[in-house]
Structure 1
Amino acid sequence: MGVDELAEELYALSPGEFTAARDRAAAAAPRGERGAIRALRRPSLAAWAVNLLTREDRSRVTSLLRLGEELRALHRRPADAGRMRELAGRRRQLVAALSRRAGQLTADAGRPVSDAVLREVEDTLRAALADPGAARALAAGRLTKALPAPAGFGAEPVAPEVTGDGEATVHELRPPSREAAPGRAPAGRDAGRRSGGSGRKRAEGRGGGAAPGAGEARRASVTDLGEHARAQERAGRERRERARGARAAAEELARAAADSEDGASSAEQTLEEARGRLEQARAEVSGLAEELRRAKRSLSAAERAERAARAPADRARQEAGRNRRRAEEARAEAERLARERPGGRRGGRRPGTSP
């Protein structure tokens, strides 16, 4: 089984089962695939609910994605207002129906989720309606986090970052940047003109003509405005750099938090397994202790029986010894009597016979 097929099976599991199943699969996989398997991230409850919805109710999820394509197309060009209202109504109904279905599926799977989690499910569905990248991530069925809802359907979409483990991180959908209206000069230029005009009026009011040094004053004012604009630009660049740094730090912390969650889940699973082994060992020890008690009782009974049988056995041995001696004495007497002749003579040669 390849990594993709394994990921399909893992992301169908509940978050509580994910980490242990992933670690077992990584341990059993070929060496070259272990890193990719261990990189698969455990889904949050909301992400798992959406993945489950994608697998179990594919037809309605497909309807949602097609509705999102049509809505995005209408927002890109002038559209019929009546058609837009119709699609917006369908969007609300479909999101609500899919959210309820996700709640039913999680409950049927033995892990009902809270209303807060279902709100994250709805946010993810709305993100898929507004953003094609979010739609692709949802259709893959391997989300690890809920997607943020767009700030507005007409917002400018930012494609999600899809990682190797199927995770899609969608930034907040931002409205298009507001450009300067045609024919309107930038604020700095307007300020310069206003400053120059007021300077001229003041100069004319003081003597009916150009005051001495008025040109130098205007040039100094323009220079100051230019310096101010450049300072504002530098400050803007610094703010953007700080914002990028803060976003990078936040993403790094989020990855570290996800790793910590996976580590905690793995540790909890290991703890549960150790507790199970401990209970089993305790049961075995209890059984062995009972067997030992029974064996000790049997040993005590056998010792008592041995002691009780020892004296009769000794007496029987002694009696047997006495009987053996009597028997030997009786045999000896019988032999002696057999060698003697009648009249008290011993058996031997008769008188007058040769040997």
Structure 2
Amino acid sequence: MNARKSREKQERDVEAVLDELYTTPPPGFVARRETLVAAAKTAGQADGARRIHAARRPTLAAWAANLLLRSQPEESRQFLELGQALREAYDALDADGLKELSAQRRRVVAALSRQAAQVAREAGHQLSEPAQQDLEATLRAVLADPDAAEQWAGGRLTSGLTPPSECRAGTAPPAKRPGSRSRPAAAPSRARASNDELAERRRARQEQLDRAQEAAEAAEQRLREERARRADVDAELRRARERTEEARRLMSAAEERMRQTRQEYRQAESDRQEAEERSRSAAEAFARAEREARKKAQDLRRLTAGTP
């Protein structure tokens, strides 16, 4: 039991390491991977070290998509739900609903793409125009293709995803070809059954569209809230930078005043020492003069006393 728990813990640790590795910017991916491989070997996790070493460096667009998934989990979950609803709506062939959801799809893809680019910039890497296009194609693929959605949800893309060329979510259903023949009218009982089935399909389709609508609106609302929050954070960061710059300016001025004060102190100290030296010299000269004056006075008194 303990051995099994130990293996499960090691497996969780390796999974966490891989999740962290795939959010490492591509230029530092290999160096970080080798560091993690060495750490796994030191911990006695040979299998984990092999799995980590097998990880391939992602492209810049794939890295940005992985980073978006990890840094914005709620928006990513709603985006995956929207993709599922779009695919279900396409299967139902509801042209009006698809038209509305397609517009929402374009808005959400554009908004998430911008958000991913912002997250990438904050991580120190500007997405080029080709990388931005690959990122948008990846997000469109996630909406259109369940396999692509599953790959992105894993958070370990190594390259961008390509939307399927046919039956993409958000495209209009195929129109009826001209000249096609209508089927003969069904018997009344079959017609009623068909009507009931059609009504049930319409009800289920409407529920799917409602869920998709709610998911898209929630995603857009979340994006608006995050945009507003980011604006507040950016404003606070700007104010903090201004305060830091002002404090740096004041500190530089204080350091300059301190430097000048030290210089003045050293000069004053030098002047004091010179004045003390002159004072000692003057005191010694005064003492010699005083002794000489006393001696001369004594000599004068002796001479005066001996005069007849």
Q: Provide the TM-score with structure 2 as the length reference.
A: 0.48
Larger Rg: 1
